[in-house]
Structure 1
Amino acid sequence: MGIRVAVAGASGYAGGELLRLIAGHPHLELAAATGFAQAGSTIGSVHPHVRSFRDVVLAKTEAEVLADADLVFLALPHGESAALAAQLPGAVKIVDLGADFRLRDAAAWERYYPGAHAGTWTYGLPELPGQREQIAASTRVANTGCYAVTTVLALAPLIAAGVADPEDVVVVASSGTSGAGRAAKQHLLASEIMGSMTPYKVGAHQHVPEIKQASGARSLSLTPVLAPMPRGILATVTARFRQRADPREVLAAAYEGEPFIHVLPEGQWPQTGATFGSNSAHLQATVDVDSGRIVVVSATDNLVRGAAGQAVQNANIMLGLPETAGLAVDGIAP
């Protein structure tokens, strides 16, 4: 018998990725999987690639269905986790993949999200200084956002070391269409997205306050771009120098020994395809010869490192399991 886990919102892309990772995990056992419109359908009909659970029927998303698990993953739309989490027993550990509990500042929440601020849980980015210990001691953990983890990993060590100016950070990041969820939307139709790249939420993306909170940045411009690919994020992060040092060496020192963070060899640049299916983040840094600004490029799989994989990484820490259990360092290619 493994540790019993449940997935709320299992019919979505992040939920399907959680099911795939649980199926291959040596210590986890699926206790329940729930959905909304897809409740009553088998997992095999909703996620044909998850053969291990093909005959499991998605239950309605109700607290009593989830309460028997040792740990619950909440893969719900932003703003929907808090009400369900409040109904679960205190002994049940929870990892929330939504934004409900990420922010410390209630005013920042109200500026970017509808509804009242629900509170703050332990922030689930283990590679930040001191976070592993906090996650291990927590029963409630808030997973990072996909743009946030891709950007914070590139930026936080440089600000902490005094190398990057926290008052002058610019990010342009391209994301695959799965980041927008599985609901049918006109702008995500193949005829609309294929062969085209489109910026969206320019100047007002909801991950900005999270990135600032986790990285130490105080002024940040984020331009997200929808790219014609199903998954992956490629973020270009630039900042003004505050103190001269080799930014690549700073990143390499900060992430020495980290199994999922890879500062690439000189001259090799991150690409989204190299991270597909993995919990890895690929980083490279240089200095722009004209402007003198720091440039860091970061690539992740938004459904794994940016959602389900990081949720499993956090769950492993919370449950006292090896942090890398059930998670791939290597990507899938082509």
Structure 2
Amino acid sequence: MICAAQDGRARYLQRQREVNRQVRRSTPGAEGARTDVCARDRRGRAARRAARVRRMSLHAHKLVCITLHMGVTAAVAGASGYGGGELLRLLLAHPEIEIGALAANTSVGLPVTDVHPNLPDLSGRVFTDAETLAAAEADVVFLALPHGQSAAVAATLPSTVRVVDLGADHRLADPEAWRRAYGGEHAGTWTYGLPELPGARARIAASRRVAAPGCYPTASTLALAPLLAAGLVEPQDLNVVAASGTSGAGRSAKVNLLGSEVMGDLTAYKVGTHQHRPEIVQALSGVAGTAVSLSFTPVLAPLPRGILATCSGRATPGTDADAVYEALRSAYAGEPFVRVLPPGRWPHAAATLGGNAVHVQGTFDAESGRAIVVSAIDNLGKGAAGQALQCANLMLGLSETAGLTAQGIAP
């Protein structure tokens, strides 16, 4: 019975197929319509396959982008100091850099938050010895060490690792100038990391070793460079008087930095002999295209952080206040961190605190014949950690402004 039913079913299906063929042959256009339907089906399948390929390609592109920008690790030597602590604060907010080894030879084994209680996201981390950095597998290493200590650590790092030195060891090109300012042997010269100087960005981006400028040189150079470049001041008669907060002297205990010694007082120090003078001269001579002569007087101010620098030069004929202002405006148009204040407004150091900003304003003193520019920075920001991170961003091919802000935290 089952076999008979199956045979009957087979004969029925065969007759139906024959009828369908007869209908298609006898109906004009039916075969063409069927062909059109098939063609549309094929085109539809092809379109769906193409869409899937596009989606897969987009997904692959995203994976490549993520791969390129993930896993960028930064290690820090000297992480227990003021500059190192500020750098850690900035790195914690960086969208593409993770914090790796944290070395501090004077604090080995101590929890990071014991030294930097303002960084609770680093709870559970402890400081290690600087010798561990060579095996840390970091993409970039920051050296936030006192002068004379960076070179030895840098020598242990692989040549493929990008290194930014916040110290002075690699800033000066002249070995004799180094010996006069700091003593000891010159460690060599690295690319100078002041991105706002002409041509500096390309040099920084192409380098694996960068020396971040000092705080006083940053404030002074960015104030006077536009005037020298525009020929508005004579290179042989430059003067800088700059007041700085106490954090610029580092974290080591010193009697002259005690609160009772500093508060309510202003003190000039190292007048005519400060170690940053040759660095300012070197940077400004490069801009002027000739050797400059500079008088530099630093002043210790009763502030934790911040620098206000009053910089001037003997004006060339034809210089006036409008020319000074236009030189600043033109030099820093489009710069993300340099703000030329509106006419009549002068920089406040407090307005730059916590940011990577530089505020500048200029004028012309007709009585003395001098062009004057006042600049303000956070000595721990644009004068140290912020500038170092700005350079690292360029070296790593990241956005120059990543993890940085031009906004201050005042009051």
Q: Which category describes the TM-score, using the shorter chain as reference length?
A: over 0.9
Q: Structure 1 pair 297/126, CA: closer, same or farther in 2 (3 Å)?
A: same
- In the TM superposition, residue 136 of structure 1 has moved relative to its aligned partner by 0.5
Shift of the 103–66 alpha-carbon distance from structure 1 to 2, 3 Å rule, reads farther
Match of 2:359 among 282, 288, 297: 282
Superimposed CA distance per residue, residues 281-333 of structure 1 (whole angstroms, 9 cap, x where no aligned partner): 00000011321211100000000100000000000000000000000110002
Deviations along 1:92-120, one digit per CA (max 9) or x if unpaired, are 11000001110111111111112111110
- What amino acid is aligned across from residue 312 of structure 2 in structure 1? T
Letter in 1 for 2:395: M
Please point out which of 228, 233, 239 is paired with 2:313. Answer: 239
User: Counterpart of 1:10 in 2: which secondary structure?
Assistant: coil
> Are 2:170 and 1:101 equivalent residues in the alignment?
yes
Query: The residue matched to 2:299 in structure 1 has which SS?
Result: strand
- Which residue of 169, 183, 206 maps to 2:275? 206
Q: Which residue of 1 aligns with 2:31?
A: none
Residue 129 of structure 1: aligned partner: 198
TM-score, normalised to structure 1's length? 0.98
Please give the root-mean-square deviation of Cα atoms over the aligned residues, in Å.
1.0
Displacement after TM superposition at 1:244 (Å): 2.6
How far, CA to CA, are the matches of 2:393 and 2:135 in structure 1? 19
Cα deviation digits, residues 193-237 of structure 1 (max 9, x gap): 000011111110111111111112611010000000000000000
Confirm or deny that 1:264 pairs with 2:338: no
Of 27-36 and 210-219, the range deviating more from structure 2: 210-219
Is the CA contact 2:168–2:211 (under 8 Å) kept in the aligned structure 1? yes
Does the 8 Å contact 1:59/1:65 carry over to 2? no
**Structure label with greater radius of gyration:** 2
Partner in structure 1 of residue 30 of structure 2: none
Q: Aligned residues, how many?
A: 334
Residue type at the aligned position of 2:293: S
Q: How does 1:294-313 map to 2 (within 5 A)?
A: 294-313=371-390
Q: Secondary structure at the match of 2:107?
A: coil
CA distance in structure 2 between the partners assigned to 1:146 and 1:37 by the alignment: 24
Match of 1:325 among 402, 405, 409: 402
Whole-Å Cα distance in 1 between the matches of residues 165 and 330 of structure 2? 30
Asked whether the 8 Å contact 1:99–1:145 carries over to 2, the reply is yes
Amino acid at match of 1:137: A
Given that residues 310 and 374 in structure 2 are in contact (C-alpha distance below 8 angstroms), is that contact kept between their aligned partners in structure 1? yes
> % of aligned pairs identical?
60
Distance 1:243 1:127 in 2: 27
Aligned runs of 1:107-118 on 2, under 5 Å?
107-118=176-187
Secondary structure in 1 matching 2:375: strand
Render the CA deviation track for 1:125-171: whole Å, top value 9, x for unaligned.
00101110000000000000000000000011111111111100011
1:168–1:220 Cα contact (<8 Å) kept:
yes
Distance between the aligned counterparts of 1:143 and 1:186, measured in 2?
28
Within a 5 Å distance, the mapping from 1:163-202 to structure 2 comes to 163-202=232-271
Q: Which has the higher strand share?
A: 1
Per-residue CA deviation, residues 21-80 of structure 1 (Å, 9 max, x unaligned), is 000000110011010221111111100001111221000111545641010000000011
Q: Which amino acid aligns with 1:50?
A: L
Aligned residue for 1:82, secondary structure, equals helix
Is structure 2 residue 137 aligned with structure 1 residue 68? Answer: yes
- Divergent runs of 4+, >3 A: 63-67
Contact persistence 2:74–2:97 (CA under 8 A): yes
Does structure 2 retain, via aligned residues, the 8 Å contact 1:63–1:87? no
Equivalent residue, structure 2, for 1:90: 159
Partner letter of residue 247 of structure 1? V
Secondary structure of 2:163's partner? strand
